[in-house]
A and B are shown apart, each in its own frame.
Chain A
Amino acid sequence: MNNASAIPHLEHFVSSEPFDPHSIEALTPEQEKVYMASQWRLMWWKLKRHRVAVVSGLILLLLYGSTLISEVIAPYELHTRNIDNVYAPPQRLHLFHNGNFVGPFVYGWDYQLNMETLKREYTQATDQIYPLRFFCSGDRYEFWGLFQAQFHLVCPADGGTLFLLGTDRLGRDMFSRITYGARISLTIGLVGIAISFMMGIVIGGVAGYYGGTIDFVVQRFIEVLRSFPELPLWMALSAILPVNWSPILIFFGITVILAILDWTGLARAVRSKFLALREEDYCVAAQLMGARPRRIIFRHLLPGFISHLIASATLSIPAMILGETALSFLGLGLRPPITSWGVLLNEAQNINVVALYPWIMLPVIPVIIVILAFNFFGDGLRDAADPYK
């Protein structure tokens, strides 16, 4: 304080420049971009930073994209039997034959039945060279059951074979079957989660919004459902599905069964959010203005936390895919001719067959990849769902 006198006295200074009292609140263009961005845009930015999640998302996108054109990707039709190549091992892709560049090709198989062990033995026939054909016409198929076509991305050489992942007990190409199986295995998770999502939001929303008796009844019902161990109940329910149902009906039956146990968790989350949110001012305001419950629930309350719901839903898709795989593996789920990864694995139940022809176990790999991808992607999504953190 004593030093104050040492400072030379300054004249009172008034800047003549115009003063904008809001200048401190003004945003630079970059800031503006961030502050004005919608919630979804913020989530997208945050998700982009999560490398593993982005890669997993891309893998999932690729796989789901492939289900749109399974028929074109698969070199063979789903049910094409190659009687001469029953349980043929995978054919390796080669580029060079005796040091000469041939392009991608496979060697043929020489087949003989070992009369002592009755095992089918295949030896590589290096004199048979089957170069792959690309963008070619091969097995006839019905694209999405709509029209007939023959176009494939890859086909075996004329008179040759192309079994990248071997064949099964009827000589059907495993790679083609896995490609087709992805269509069922991947969509069953989506359809199931769609059903359970709708049920969870509607039932949980009603319980949370109205509270009281409705809430009590719903809560008890959920408690009862949750008291069942998951797998035994799934098994019991799928044992109910009549044998004479068409494959499509069975498909929907299984998805509904998978959804029946899944919606409860979602409903609980929605309910507890609603219980808290319906006391908020903006909700009361909407009520006072005469908005009907449906509008309040879907227009005012849900958008506040729908991103969380989607993230948690993503995390429960793998459980559904696994559920279907397990049920089909046991022979309780989908049945041939519908082909899913679980149905394919059903053939791998007999360990003696697997020991001789291990490639029929290969559908395990896509299952694990998809489940890992969904887990990582869901994790990233859940982090991103809260972009303000």
Chain B
Amino acid sequence: MLRYVAQRLLMMIPTLLAISVIVFVIIQLPPGDYLESYIAELQSQGESVDLDKIAFLREQYGLDKPLYEQYFRWLLGMLHGDFGFSFEYDLPVNEVVGDRLYLTILVSTFTILFTWAIAFPIGIYSATHQYSWGDYGLTFIGFLGLATPNFLLALVMLYLANVWFGTSIGGLMDSDYIDQPWSWGKIVSILEHLWIPVVVIGTSGTAGMIRRLRANLLDELQKQYVITGRAKGLPETRLLLKYPLRMALNFFIADIGSILPSIISGAEIVAVVLSLPTTGPMLLGALQSQDMYLAGSFLMFLAFLTVFGVLLSDLALAMLDPRIRLQGATVR
């Protein structure tokens, strides 16, 4: 087991290096850099451009250096926890991301809890009552939820709220509290606004999880050990929870890895539509304005979390499932 862990950790290094190269290439590919578009913008507004300042900035951020040197500076900085400097916000990337990160984690955590709370009972019900009316109805609703793209759902919800309540439900808090220090009122306001993004973002995830839980549980329920357990006189609930459900949860553990990056990126498009102060709209803005260090470091961070999440779920699976542990294979 220890050898397996060490092997996997070592494998992460080249993977992450390759990812960092790709990310760097992607953020370098658009023609020009942020300073050039900054100059163009100033000129179009008729303002004078302080060339000294531009030159200073260029030197400060190493934009005048060859590409490979920029890359290594960026890479070394990240290893030290310095994610570079955001041109647009005129702040270190860490500080730009900071507050948004907490709000994103908040929204995502509630979304995940919501998904689990809804998906588990429904999935178990559907599987144990296969082909009943309840199963058909819930499966159909699940399909609808799966097919409706989240951002369109957000759009429709915004519209309905506007028509029915006459208010805008966008944002994550009342406008009075934006940029205010944390207070009790702000927390209450956030909690009041939270449910809409949670429901909107959680819908398709819930639908998907219901479908997979149902399918996995149905597979297990047909197996002989279930019949054996029933023949021995185990009560139904205990029988269900103790054996087949545990077996059906492998997919769930394999999923935990992919949850990690999504906690941080937090459903980018929905966030844009609902104008949430999370990391998604920030990344979008950074990509559009060529704020390369902000976009690059954030992409890199997400990719790192994905790699790390896959490792975590592989380890958890290996620990829980002796078949995987003994064969050393991974399940995705």
Contact = CB atoms under 8 A, between A and B. Distances in A.
Contacts of B149: 322, 325-326, 367-368, 371
Interface string A349-366: 101001100100100100
Interface in A209-251: 220, 223-224, 226-229, 231-233, 235-237, 239-240, 242
Describe A's contact surface by its main secondary structure. helix
A138 interface: no
Given A330-B269, A354-B159, A372-B147, A232 B22 contact: no
Contacts of B287: 235-236, 239, 332
A375 interface: yes
Interface centre among A232, A237, A325, A367 (most CB of B within 10 A): A232
B200 interface: no
Which 8 pairs between the two chains have the least Cβ-Cβ distance?
A239-B287, A355-B162, A372-B147, A371-B147, A240-B29, A227-B306, A224-B18, A227-B303
A318 B143 CA distance: 13
Contact of A224 (B22, B170, B272): B22
Given A237-B26, A368-B152, A354 B299 contact: no
B155 A361 contact: yes
Contact of B151 (A229, A326, A354): A326
Interface of A: 220, 223-224, 226-229, 231-233, 235-237, 239-240, 242, 318, 322, 325-326, 329-330, 332, 345, 348-349, 351, 354-355, 358, 361, 364, 367-368, 371-372, 375-376
Given A227-B15, A228-B303, A351 B26 contact: no
Contacts of A372: 143-144, 147
B15 A232 contact: no
Interface in B126-165: 143-144, 146-149, 151-152, 155-156, 158-159, 162-163
B43 interface: no
A19 B170 CA distance: 85
A318 B147 contact: yes
Nearest to A363: B152
A242 B159 CA distance: 34
B92 interface: no
A231 B268 CA distance: 8
B14 interface: yes
Q: How large is the interface on B (under 10, 10 to 19, 20 to 34, 35 or more residues)?
A: 35 or more
Contact of B268 (A220, A228, A232, A322): A232
B170 A351 contact: yes
A220 B15 contact: yes
Nearest to A365: B152
Contacts of B227: none
B26 A355 contact: no
A235 B15 contact: no
Contact of B26 (A229, A236, A364): A236
A231 B299 CA distance: 11
A234 B299 CA distance: 11
Interface string B1-30: 000000000000011001100100011011
A238 to B, nearest CB: 9
B146 to A, nearest CB: 7
Contact of B265 (A232, A242, A348, A364): A232
A221 to B, nearest CB: 8
A236 B299 contact: yes
Contacts of A235: 268, 283-284, 287
A229 B269 contact: no
Contacts of A371: 147-149
A240 B265 contact: no
Contacts of B66: none
A236 B152 CA distance: 21
